[in-house]
Amino acid sequence: MPVGYQTNLFVYGPGGYRFGGYLRLGAPLQLLITAVTTVGIAIIWGL
C-alpha cells in the first residue's frame, strides 16, 4: 500500500499511481510468495 512505506508515497503522486494499482499488483504477488514459502518449508523441513 502507498501508506505502508515512505518510498511508496514518494512515487504515488508523481507517478500517477492509484490506490487500486497497489492492490492489483501486490495481492497476486503476496499470494505467490505465500504459496512458494509454504511449499518450500514443506520440502525443506518435511512437514
Could you read off the pLDDT of 6-26 as tens digits, one per residue? Answer: 887 788 888 888 888 888 888
Q: Is 4 helix (H, G, I), strand (E, B) or coil?
A: coil
Q: Could you give the CA distance from residue 18 to residue 26 in angstroms, rounded to a whole number?
A: 13
| Predicted model pTM | 0.64
From first CA to last CA, the distance across the chain in angstroms is 33
Q: Using only the alpha carbons of the chain, give its radius of gyration.
A: 15
Q: Could you give the CA distance from residue 16 to residue 32 in angstroms, rounded to a whole number?
A: 26
The more confidently predicted of residues 13 and 39 is 39
pLDDT category of residue 1 using cuts at 50, 70 and 90 = low
Average pLDDT, the chain: 87
- pLDDT of 2 reads 67
